[in-house]
Amino acid sequence: MTQYAEIIKKIKNADAILIGASNGLSITEGLHLFADDQAFQTVFGDLKSKYGLRNILDGYFYRWRTMEEKWGFLSRLIEHYSGSYTPTPVMENLRKIVGEKPYFVVTSNGEGHFEQAGFDADKVYEVEGNWIEMRCSNRCHEAIYPSMEAIHKMAEAEENGIVPSERIPRCPKCGAVMELYNAEPPKKEIINAWNDFLNEFHEKNIVILELGIGWRNQLIKAPLMNLTAREPHAAYITINLGEIYITDNIKEKSYGLDGYLDVILSELAAEYENSEK
Ligand SMILES: [Zn+2]
């Protein structure tokens, strides 16, 4: 049996699939947070020279002098990468592989692509928050609101990196400016859902599918490898370009696939379809 056939067999026999994803997946989908590449030039060329921004992350954490400039940058960013998003083949292949199995996603990506690609928001734990939701910057209450409509309205009116003040989203209770949702403190519902998932599939056949997470990542990769070690029937599949790392204690339960995420997922999806025949 080929390695792919073996992996697909594991997936088909799984009771649940746990997906871990980090910025390798975002990059595959065209969102590169820390590259001064052609895409950054195309979308942010004017702001790059105006403010000296070197990449998206730079703009994300820039000390903007005004809210109008801050939201000018953010609304253009989010409208481009999430407002105009259509699910990529990478996401479609991933959904194909997951099929009808119970699943859970743990990701440090915050662009909301899992939800937009049809994964259930209640099963996507964004450990660093996301930009498709927002809340009161004054924290007068803890409710979290969808941000995309406000983003779209600002992006529409944005000129030279500045949005009109009246389009900046404000807290419905205290009137403070809203801020994008960061994960501190995490939402109770998602932590509960995550714990429920771990309890429900404890000692079951769980396939852990790790997508584009750097080998030293402590936030997601290390916990997933620990989980693999603890769970007697777990299988661990890690896909990354040039950075396959699997600890010795889980070697027998693991598969390391070194290569481009989009290529490997499409090959796995093809194998999955073949095995149906
Ligand atoms: Zn408020």
Predicted confidence band at 253 (pLDDT cuts at 50, 70, 90)?
very high
pTM for the predicted model, two decimal places: 0.96
- Amino acid at the residue 105: V
Whether 1 shows a pLDDT value over 90: the answer reads no
150 C-alpha to center of ligand 1: Å?
16
135 C-alpha to center of ligand 1: Å?
8
Do β-strands 235-240 and 254-258 pair in parallel, antiparallel, or remain unpaired?
parallel
The angle, 0 to 180 degrees and rounded to 10, between the axes of the packed helices 67-78 and 38-51 is: 170
216 C-alpha to center of ligand 1: Å?
38
CB distance 135 to 125 below 8 Å: no
Tell me which of 185 and 40 has the higher pLDDT: 40
Phi, psi of 190, rounded to the nearest 5 degrees? -75, -35
Residues 6+ apart with CB under 8 A from 249: 229
CB distance 94 to 149 below 8 Å: no
DSSP state of 256: E
Residue 49, both tokens: 């020279």
Residues 161-179 pLDDT 10s:
999 999 999 999 999 999 9
Residue 80, both tokens: 């481009």
Could you tell me which of 101, 94, 111 has the C-alpha nearest to residue 14?
101
Whether 130 shows a pLDDT value over 90: the answer reads yes
Q: What is the pLDDT of residue 276?
A: 84
Residues with CB under 5 A from ligand 1 (ion): 136, 138, 140, 171, 173-174, 176
Q: Mean pLDDT over residues 100-113, rounded? A: 97
Q: What share of the chain is helix, strand, coil (3-state, %, to 5)?
A: 45, 15, 40
Q: What is the pLDDT of residue 63?
A: 96
175 C-alpha to center of ligand 1: Å?
6
Q: Mean pLDDT over residues 97-109, rounded? A: 97
Whether 184 shows a pLDDT value over 90: the answer reads no
- Amino acid at the residue 250: I
CB distance 180 to 129 below 8 Å: yes
CB distance 34 to 56 below 8 Å: yes
Question: 185 preceded by cis ω (within 30°)?
Answer: yes
Residues 63-73 pLDDT 10s:
999 999 999 99
Mean of per-residue pLDDT scores for the chain: 96
> Which residues is 104 bridged to in the sheet?
18
Percent of all residues in the chain with a pLDDT value above 90, rounded to a whole number: 97
Q: What is the pLDDT of residue 70?
A: 98
Q: What is the pLDDT of residue 185?
A: 85
Q: What is the pLDDT of residue 277?
A: 79
244 C-alpha to center of ligand 1: Å?
45
Residues 131-152 pLDDT 10s:
999 999 999 999 999 999 999 9
Could you tell me which of 220, 262, 219, 270 has the C-alpha nearest to residue 241?
262
173 C-alpha to center of ligand 1: Å?
5
Distance CA 33, CA 18 (A): 25
Q: What is the pLDDT of residue 272?
A: 97
172 C-alpha to center of ligand 1: Å?
7
CB distance 255 to 235 below 8 Å: yes
